[in-house]
Amino acid sequence: MLSEKDFISSQYASIDSAHFRWSAPSNIALVKYWGKKEHQIPANPSISFTLNHCKTITELSVKRKESKDTFSFDLLFEGQPKEDFKPKIQKFLERIETYCPFLKEYHLTINTQNTFPHSSGIASSASGMAALAMNFMSLEKTLNPSLSDKYFNQKASFLARLGSGSACRSIKGEVVIWGNHQETNNSSDLFGVEFTSIHENFKNYQDTILLVDKGEKQVSSTVGHDLMHNHPYAAQRFAQAHENLSKMKAILSSGNLDKFIEVVESEALTLHAMMMTSMPYFILMKPNTLEIINRIWKFRKETKTPVCFTLDAGANVHVLYPQNTTEKVLEFIKNELVAYCQNGQYICDQIGTGAKSI
């Protein structure tokens, strides 16, 4: 098992300039990461579906510079300077400096774009940090061609985690586990690992994201994670996540859709229950979030369609369903749920395979 020191690169050549381009997808957790220790170590293990269409595309150009004392970079969003994201990238570079010392030898130009609408309320930090980490690994591989593909991907996930925890689950697909778990031999707190024992029922599983509220969140994920320190139910929650991960692995292997629905919805509501019971307490769901949940429950009961919902740290609803129910569920979404979406907006996505060099 690799440890932190295995990710420190010490041998690397030098080049004048280079250019790389990667896309990385978003992901949706089935068992949620909520609560962390120092250095982006999760308080509990999590598992997610990697998505396919909701992606960040990031280009990295590097040019050798004289001084190696400080990081130097330009940040562009769709070709336009994006000053407000700079502190986040600066912090990311500082966190990964020990592992990628070569970055200080270059002036970096980072140009990024998302395939989903701006300010849709869909977090771009997972896909964004994953795409950037892949570019940094391409640079490292150029400087040290002996790196294996396995190491490349593991270190990319390791770096992405230091940018945003859940980003480490966006490097690979279709299902990724992150965090030490007794029943998962190869699991690690440091990077995500693929879970490959997946039943046919979950092939091309669909995720339609209903955009309920596109506004800026009142409480960021990072602040929410911090509130799990001193949370009255933290210990029970972390134990439950371990149990739910064991259950979810068995469910994904056996194809039991009823059990899938039970664990996924319970996880989503528990995540939001943790927010409501922290101090200070907060609510990220909106009235329309609850309206949609109730309609999904009614539709499921009446039509016996195995459709369920999950939420991340916001008001938007992810509607999850098997590929062979797509027509029926989309019809239901159009007829009954679109009215509760902001400007009627939703995004059709499905399970995907991870980051790509493009």
**CA dihedral defined by 132, 134, 137, 138, rounded to 10 degrees?**
-100
Question: CA separation (Å) from 156 to 23, 42, 144, 291, 334?
Answer: 13, 17, 15, 39, 39
Residues of this chain that bind ligand DP6 (CB under 6 A): 29, 32-34, 40, 46, 123, 125, 164-166, 221-222, 225, 271, 312-313
Strand partners, 310: 318
Q: Which is nearer to ligand DP6, 62 or 224 (CB)?
A: 224
Q: Which is nearer to ligand DP6, 220 or 294 (CB)?
A: 220
CB of 35 to ligand DP6, least distance (A): 10
- Closest listed residue to residue 260, CA positions, set 47, 41, 88, 58: 47
CB of 165 to ligand DP6, least distance (A): 3
Q: Which is nearer to ligand DP6, 155 or 318 (CB)?
A: 318
Question: CA separation (Å) from 158 to 4, 122, 130, 331, 357?
Answer: 9, 23, 10, 40, 18
Q: Which is nearer to ligand DP6, 112 or 164 (CB)?
A: 164
CB of 258 to ligand DP6, least distance (A): 23
CB of 327 to ligand DP6, least distance (A): 29
CB of 34 to ligand DP6, least distance (A): 6
Q: Which is nearer to ligand DP6, 59 or 312 (CB)?
A: 312
Q: How many CB atoms lie within 10 A of CB 335?
A: 11
- Closest listed residue to residue 62, CA positions, set 52, 49, 71: 71
Rounded Cα gap, residues 337 and 184, in angstroms: 38
CB of 18 to ligand DP6, least distance (A): 28
Q: How many CB atoms lie within 10 A of CB 325?
A: 16
CB of 30 to ligand DP6, least distance (A): 9
Q: Which is nearer to ligand DP6, 20 or 205 (CB)?
A: 205
- DSSP state letter for 156: H
Indicate the pairing of strand 175-178 with strand 192-194.
antiparallel
**HEC assignment per residue over 72-108:** EEEEEECCEECHHHHHHHHHHHHHHCCCCHHHHHEEE
**Minimal CB distance to ligand DP6: which residue?**
165
Rounded Cα gap, residues 53 and 203, in angstroms: 16
Q: Which is nearer to ligand DP6, 143 or 234 (CB)?
A: 234
